[in-house]
Amino acid sequence: MSDLLTITGARRAFVTPEGRAVPALDGIDLAVHDGEFVTLLGPSGCGKTTLLRAIAGLEAIDAGTIMLEGRDLTRLPAHRRPVNTVFQSYALFPHMTVARNVGYAMEVRGLPRAEREAQVADALAKVGLEGMATRKPSQLSGGQQQRVALARAIVAKPRLLLLDEPLSALDRNLRQAMQIELKDLQHRLGITFVFVTHDQDEALTMSDRIVVMRSGRVVQAGTPREIFRRPATRFVAEFIGETNLLSGTVEGGAAGPILRTSGGLSLRIPPGTPPGARATAVLRPTDFTLGAEGIAGTVTRAVYRGADLHLSVAPEGGGPTLGAIARDNALAPQRGARVTLGYDPAAIHIMEGEG
């Protein structure tokens, strides 16, 4: 798969009112493949939106290069880049119809009316808004307004589409539905998407590849499964979904290596880490099997979340409280119940050191 976008050594610093330079981008290297859906994920202030704006040409970088299909965009103004952006606020013109909102840029360029109308109709069909060309934005739902913004972005057939948290204003159910629709649309169009979000579930649902950022740097890049199952650092493990992080010393055992925590919990782990090494085990709450042979403990908290019951379990032998997820049924344990948590050592990911 060929690279469409290549960013090398991108740096950008902002100066505070006190005169202190704060790096927003601290040497970013990133390649985005043609036709890929890449999500920039991280907490507020990690640099993800600054990076997106730099790609769009809305933010200048202090050092480094931004290349698109071998063409240097680094100093090219935004209006000359084959890139479009969908912002968190859809920025629709309230006095214009849907059709005029979508075709406004072509109207400004003086494209013939018949050609403009044909392209607008095609773009609206692609986002499922046929028959709504004459409506005003105020006559649309939030999801429909979001689709108008998408149609406006894709009508010019950009090589790269940038999306800055475009789903954040939608309610939970609509947001989940639009995640699937947006991914399907990207697949149908074949346009490369770079998407910004701080929502881990959104990133896992939509992405071909996730780029986790922190303090202006790329911490880890990989498929959703790689990021979730094999986090490179404690930060990634804690940021991507719920997890149990258990640090201790590796010991040899007749049945295989054991990680013994400072609190006295013993955990069977996959082979490969030498005895005596300090290590951190990553074990997701969904990896536990309630009632199977394993770690015995007492439920200290049970939080009902519909189909699932999220449990906090204090191990009998001591050690950190464990998070586990059980299915909601008549036998679902409540606070104070004694339980056992079974697990497969092969499901555990080991980070050597303290993670």
DSSP, residue by residue, 195-234: EEES-HHHHHHH-SEEEEEETTEEEEEE-HHHHHHS-SSH
pLDDT tens-digit map of 306-330: 888 999 999 998 888 999 998 776 6
Query: Would you say residue 254 has pLDDT above 80?
Result: no
Residues forming beta bridges with residue 298, ordered by sequence position = 314, 338
Pairwise CA distance, residues 293 & 310, whole Å: 19
- Tell me the percentage of the chain whose pLDDT exceeds 90: 58
Mean pLDDT over 291-311 rounds to 91
Identical fold at 3-82+158-238 and 243-352? Answer: no
CB 289 within 8 A of CB 299: no
pLDDT tens-digit map of 134-159: 999 999 888 888 889 888 988 888 89
Does the CA dihedral 39-171-141-176 come out positive or negative?
positive
Report the relative pairing of strands 160-164 and 83-86 from DSSP bridges.
Answer: parallel
H/E element holding 300?
A: strand 289-305
Q: Is residue 334 classed as helix, strand or coil in its secondary structure?
A: coil
Query: Would you say residue 355 has pLDDT above 60?
Result: no
pLDDT of 264: 83
Quick one: angle between helices 98-108 and 142-154, nearest 10?
20
Please state which CATH number belongs to domain 243-352: 2.40.50.140
Cα radius of gyration rounded to whole Å, the chain? 25
- CATH fold, domain 3-82+158-238, is Rossmann fold (3.40.50)
| Mean of per-residue pLDDT scores for the chain | 90
Q: Where are the domains of the chain?
A: 3-82+158-238, 97-150, 243-352
92 Ramachandran zone, left/alpha/beta (phi>0; psi -120 to 50): beta
CB 311 within 8 A of CB 302: yes
